[in-house]
Amino acid sequence: MDKADSIEIFLRQWKKERPDLDPWPVGILGRTQRISARLQARSLSWLEPLGLTWESFSLLLALRRSGPSYELRPTDMYKQSLLSSGAITNRIDKVEKEGWVKRFDSPGDRRGVVVRLTASGKAMADKAVEIHFAQLAAQLSKLAKKDRQLLLELLRKLLRTLEEEDE
CATH code assigned at 56 = 1.10.10.10
Final residue of a domain: which of 20, 35, 50?
A: 50
Say what the pLDDT of residue 1 is: 57
Tell me what the mean pLDDT of segment 104-127 comes to: 90
Residue 2 pLDDT exceeds 90: no
Mean of pLDDT over the chain: 92
**Whether residue 45 sits in one domain with residue 19:** yes
Between the alpha carbon of residue 9 and those of residues 18, 29, 37, the distances in Å are 14, 14, 18
Q: What pLDDT does residue 4 have?
A: 85
Does residue 104 surpass a pLDDT of 60? Answer: yes
% residues pLDDT > 70 (the chain) = 98
One domain, residues 25 and 100: no
Indicate whether 76 pLDDT > 80.
yes
Instruction: Report the distance separating Cα 32 and Cα 66, nearest Å.
Output: 27
Give me the pLDDT at residue 65, please: 95
Q: For residue 115, what is the enclosing H or E element?
A: strand 109-117
pLDDT tops 70 at residue 61: yes
Number of structural domains, the chain? Answer: 2
Percent of the chain with pLDDT over 90: 78
